[in-house]
Amino acid sequence: MAAGKLSKPHLEILDDKHALAERAAELLTQTVSAAAAERGKYAGRTSVALAGGTTPRLLYQLLSHRPWHQRIPWDRIQWIVGDERVVPPDHEDSNFRMVYENLFDPAGVREDHHFRVMTELPTPQAAAADYMKRLQAALGITPGSGTTPSLDLMLLGMGSDGHTASLFPHTDALREREKIVLANWVEKLDSWRITVTPPVLEGAKRILVLVSGEDKAKALFQVLKGEWNPEEYPAQILRDLPSVAWIVDKAAAVDIT
Ligand code: 6PG
């Protein structure tokens, strides 16, 4: 990964988390509608990777209701959860459960249109390998070909430590360049995470990074304006990608405005 020169990121600062969710809903709807139209009726499905955590909840709830629900071509999209905690799918910490309850279920997304990490498999490594195989099949990638997917859209969040997806500071997944999904040991959480890897973020056609709240302000400054140090601030790997739009609220942007 070349050292990041600070290009001018696409940054939108919204008044609050509600305005952020509305803006993200509009951008997601525009992006997936255009991608589906471009693909045409019979080509592969438009692929969208979803963020976990709490910030995207409001967005997912909006997408399940008017006016956005009517505008999204649901039958032509496949939804991928970008990273997962190694807990059962009905556990309160499960990203899949959060996305299911706030988006897939209320929006009526059919089961064959969404993917979840099978965290019930015997080990995190088995879950990661299984997820990678299923994603490669869904995205038309031959296993072992080294082909990186080019997702039509990826939603990401950012932690107050500057992590994104489950690419946490000083963890192995940050350095992964071959596999598209990895089981990642996160010492500070004393737990495993399953996550897409940097090549998947770099290959996405469009990324929306949703950042809300004052607790993210220091990390957002470091990620967007600080010295290049992605081991310390993993979301910096996004900073020079032309595909990325940072959709943040005023509270998160307090140190960069
Ligand atoms: C997760 C997410 C993670 C999240 C950030 C921000 O599994 O937690 O994938 O990357 O986006 O931690 O989380 P909040 O939105 O809860 O602040």
Query: Is residue 5 predicted with pLDDT exceeding 60?
Result: no
Answer whether 46's CB lies under 8 Å from 86's CB: no
- pLDDT (mean) for 138-146: 88
3-state secondary structure of 34: helix
Beta strand spans in the chain (E): 10-14, 46-50, 77-81, 83-85, 114-115, 153-156, 181-186, 191-196, 207-211, 244-249
Mean of the per-residue pLDDT values of the chain:
95
Q: How much is the pLDDT for 1?
A: 42
Q: How much is the pLDDT for 112?
A: 95
Out of 17, 20, 50, 55, give the residue to mutate to test ligand 1, the one with the largest number of ligand atoms within 8 Å of its CB: 55
**Ligand 1 centroid – CA 138 distance (Å):** 25
How far apart are the C-alpha atoms of 146 and 140, rounded to whole Å?
A: 12
pLDDT grade, residue 42 (50/70/90)?
A: low
Ligand 1 shell residues, CB under 6 Å: 51-55, 83, 95, 157-159, 163-166
Atom number, ligand 1, closest to the C-alpha of residue 164: 10
Beta strand spans in 114-232 (E): 114-115, 153-156, 181-186, 191-196, 207-211
Answer whether 84's CB lies under 8 Å from 119's CB: yes
Atom number, ligand 1, closest to the C-alpha of residue 51: 9
pTM (2 d.p.): 0.96
Q: What angle do CA 227, 5, 181 make, to 5 degrees?
A: 85
Query: Is residue 231 predicted with pLDDT exceeding 90?
Result: yes
β-pair type (83-85, 191-196): antiparallel
**50 closest CA partner among 7, 107, 10:** 107
Given 3-state DSSP classes, what are the helix, strand and coil percentages for the chain, each rounded to the nearest 5?
A: 40, 20, 45
**Ligand 1 centroid – CA 157 distance (Å):** 5
